[in-house]
Structure 1
Amino acid sequence: MQVIVVGCGKVGRTIAAQLVNEDNDITVVDTNAERVDGISTIYDVMGVVGNATSFKTLSEAGIEHADMLVAVTQSDEVNLLCCVLAKKAGGCRTVARVRNPIYSAERNFLQEKLGVSMTINPEYEAALETSHLLRFPQASEVYSFAKRRTSLISFRVPEGCSLVGMPLRELSKRLSTNVLVCMARRGDDVIIPDGSFEAREGDILSIMAMPGVADEFFRRMGMQKDRVHNALLIGGGKVSFYLAQILDEVGIRSKIIEQDYKRCEELAELLPNATIIHGDGSDQEFLKEEHIETMDSMLAGTGIDEENIILSLYARDIIKYKVVTKLSHMEVNGVVKKLNLDAIVSPRTITAESIVRYVRATRNGMGSNVEVMYKMLDGRAEALEFKIKDDSVVTGVRLADMRLKRDVLVAGIFRDGNLIVPSGSDVIRSGDSVIVITTNIGFQDIHDILA
């Protein structure tokens, strides 16, 4: 596909890099010549220096022949205007990063009346991911599938866990739970396990299960934690604002600590059921005065990544169940992972993955049916959801009769509101949602899983 990416900041750079790796033709546009040159030098992309709200600049970028324009500048208004111009000039699909809560609330209007194909709000998506992590305090990552009705949950195997030394083929028999272990990370190795795989203490395992079943699994493993009843949100930015709204809907009380007094007043008006406190959330003595030890969970959500990491390291032995760290600018790389933070949310990464997922999905006319896509384990694995069509090559075929590529696992079949943990005798039907875990990167269609 021919894709124009407007905005060469960290998000635009990440999107361009991932789309190039998937054999798309990319043109980047930015008013900053140094940024354009930097991306053009490192990646195989065309660069255009100019304002993308100008038809002349869009023409130079090839809007007449583009399949999609992705606008991820710092300005919501610029992003939306670029999309409107692109729609009029080239008729291509358009994606806009929209962060202002006012615009986010008018998402349907923007898409229907302005012709924007997709809007993405990084802070709201980060808040939603954080709420999923609080739903499962044992988890380091939670990925949702089948319209959030089933989840892929990653967790570290604790000392003394009955999973240690148990061949996976015996898991269902011993526990009588409808759970599938889909992936394991052991040191730097990523493993798609078979029935003979035996977990070790410290492994990071990923299981596929519906929420109630996952609760039962963790209970039988002796890992069940009490439900989170309250959350301390340090920093009163957009992520905390959205998260407080989401938590209020599920009965979790929020306490927000914010340094800016005017912002505190705004939050108090917008969030009547949350407790808003004016103060420095990075001050450990202040946190003690606010009885941090009584909190079940915490989001370190200031605008400074380094501060969030330090806060999380301080709080992880004080907070009862879960500490989530927001990283907006830093790479979630090996150095950060060695800190063994409870859980990390990155609005930038979420935005890039959502847009790459949408690009794959829009290849529908070219044979693709990717509904959901997550990059896992530093991009070395992917979890994908495919919607099966009538004419699919896998329809009506028993799993045992399929010749799958190496390191491919059919992790779940979602049908009629239920998750089927697949066995060799199961058959994929038209209309099913099929969840695939693989270390083969870049699948576009369900038939890509076949050898």
Structure 2
Amino acid sequence: MRILVIGAGEVGSSIAGSLADAHEIVVLDVDGDRVDSLTFEHDVLAIQGDGTSLDDLEAAEAASADVVIASTDEDETNLAACATVKTVTDAFTIARVEQPSFLRTWQRSRGVFGVDFMVCTDLLTAQAIVRIVGLPTARDVDPFANGLVQMAEFEVSAESPLAGQTVAEADTFDALTFAALVRDEEVVLPRGDTVIEPNDQIIVIGRPDSVEAFAGAVSPEAETDVEDVVVVGGSTTAYQVTRLLEERGLSPTLIEQDEARARELAEALPDTTVLQHDATDRDFLEREHIGDADFVVSMLDSDEKNLLVALLAKRVGAARTVAVVDNPQYVPLFQTVGVDVAVNPREVTAEDITRFTRERQAENVAIIEPEKAEVLEVEVGPESVLVGRPIREAVADLPAGFVIGAITRDGQFVTPRGDTVVEPNDHVVALVTNEAHDEVADQL
């Protein structure tokens, strides 16, 4: 498939790198330095030009593209680019926007702006944060099969009871599969005798109640029943997080320094307590008992402020912290110095666009480790290599790098075991490494 990516910033570059192995990728950007950098980093054709210019689109051979992804940092530019693209091709267009108002307009009239699919950075970031709040000890959570299956990623601390156990010893959950370990940025497909080491990240796939029980086993001392959530900041994304928390039946607290914005948020969020103050004031945090919070989500306008608030919240006693990080290079730093989860909105957006592009072959996809592995959901047809055979026999005919994590059949969860027989129209949720992806996808 030929994919044209407009914009070579962090989002566009990440998308291009994720898709380059399987597709022909062309990237168009007005910044010559970005174009040169991308040419050296990935196997793509990078061209300097404006995605809203017909001449530049023709130079990039947009008319021959199957998919066009507009991912610059300007909403209006992305919408204009998609509209312009539609004058020269019927390619499927995807636009990235930050303002939810554009998303609401598009949802009311699909295809408006010349956009076939739209992703909203603010809403995607909010949804990712709320999923993490819903499973407190997880670093990442993704639903599959209409919520019947959950994939979650957990970090094993040196104090965790799982550290030093084999996978066979730790695997005491009926509806759960240990799909992979991420160790030193490498994906390891575990066997029964694989020893779980401190700092490993464990990828599990299973029924949501089993995943929740496993979360308690990873960190028995952690509070899993989240009730008290504090959101710091009054941005659009912070509003979306708080609104989604209200929809889950919670009554969060929101801290915003600007008086007018605090009043506006108080009116828009009826089940939220809005406090107008500077959240970097430790005395204020102690006075308002922020240390009693199950979660503090820091969403201010700078990475430095978010780091400070998250660390102050931990210092006064908050159980867990999430910080929004604008610079993706800071994500590992935040987590190293004590922030429990760091979320980069551009990475979340790039993953979702990449996910949607790959979903044209699968029902759902979650990227586990960039360019290393993914979890995918596939509805198997009668010709699939899995159908009518015990899993242990069918998997033997597939390349190494493939693990079935869950099966759903007629809306019911089926725990995959070696003697489980897959039937036509089953939904299979599996982890597959990038090396095995193409061959596995062809046979499923």
TM-score, L = length of structure 1: 0.87
Task: Write out aligned runs for 1:129-168 (5 A).
Answer: 129-157=128-156, 163-164=162-163, 166-168=165-167
Question: 1:419 aligned to 2:413?
Answer: yes
User: Displacement, 1:78?
Assistant: 2.3
Q: Deviations over 1:163-185 (max 9, x none)?
A: 4555434556xx46322222224
Distance in structure 2 (CA, Å) of the matches to 1:349 and 1:445? 27
- Amino acid of the residue matched to residue 176 of structure 2? V
Call closer, same or farther: CA 1:26–1:198 in 2, change over 3 Å.
closer
239-248 vs 282-291, which deviates more? 282-291
Q: Deviations over 1:85-143 (max 9, x none)?
A: 22232000000012212122234234244552211112211111111111111222222
- Amino acid of the residue matched to residue 390 of structure 2? R
Distance in structure 2 (CA, Å) of the matches to 1:82 and 1:188? 36
The equivalent residue for 1:297 is 295
Answer whether contact 1:87 1:115 (CA < 8 A) is retained.
yes
The equivalent residue for 2:62 is 63
Question: 1:430 aligned to 2:424?
Answer: yes
Distance in structure 2 (CA, Å) of the matches to 1:69 and 1:336? 34
The equivalent residue for 2:201 is 204
Query: Which residue among 364, 385, 389 is the counterpart of 1:397?
Result: 389
Q: Deviations over 1:187-244 (max 9, x none)?
A: 5553211122343455432222222233344456745624111211112112211111
- Structure 1: unaligned runs, 5 residues or longer: 363-368
416-425 vs 258-267, which deviates more? 258-267
Answer whether contact 1:234 1:302 (CA < 8 A) is retained.
yes
- Count of aligned positions: 441
Question: What do you get for the CA RMSD once the two structures are aligned?
Answer: 2.8
Answer whether contact 2:166 2:193 (CA < 8 A) is retained.
yes
- Amino acid of the residue matched to residue 401 of structure 2? D
SS of the residue 2:87 aligns to: helix
The equivalent residue for 1:27 is 26
The equivalent residue for 1:366 is none
Answer whether contact 2:18 2:371 (CA < 8 A) is retained.
no
User: Displacement, 1:337?
Assistant: 4.5
Answer whether contact 1:244 1:274 (CA < 8 A) is retained.
yes
The equivalent residue for 1:82 is 81
Task: Write out aligned runs for 1:2-401 (5 A).
Answer: 2-20=2-20, 22-157=21-156, 163-164=162-163, 166-169=165-168, 175=172, 177-186=174-183, 190-219=187-216, 222=220, 225-331=223-329, 334-362=332-360, 369-377=361-369, 379-401=371-393
Distance in structure 2 (CA, Å) of the matches to 1:341 and 1:145? 28
Answer whether contact 1:65 1:90 (CA < 8 A) is retained.
yes
User: Displacement, 1:388?
Assistant: 1.9
After TM superposition, the runs of 4+ consecutive aligned structure 1 residues lying more than 6 A away are none
187-196 vs 94-103, which deviates more? 187-196
Answer whether contact 1:305 1:330 (CA < 8 A) is retained.
no
Answer whether contact 1:257 1:279 (CA < 8 A) is retained.
yes
Distance in structure 1 (CA, Å) of the matches to 2:343 and 2:62? 34
Distance in structure 1 (CA, Å) of the matches to 2:12 and 2:303? 19
User: Displacement, 1:393?
Assistant: 3.3
- Amino acid of the residue matched to residue 17 of structure 1? G
User: Displacement, 1:159?
Assistant: 6.0
Answer whether contact 1:2 1:65 (CA < 8 A) is retained.
yes
Q: Deviations over 1:252-287 (max 9, x none)?
A: 122222233343233233223222233222333332
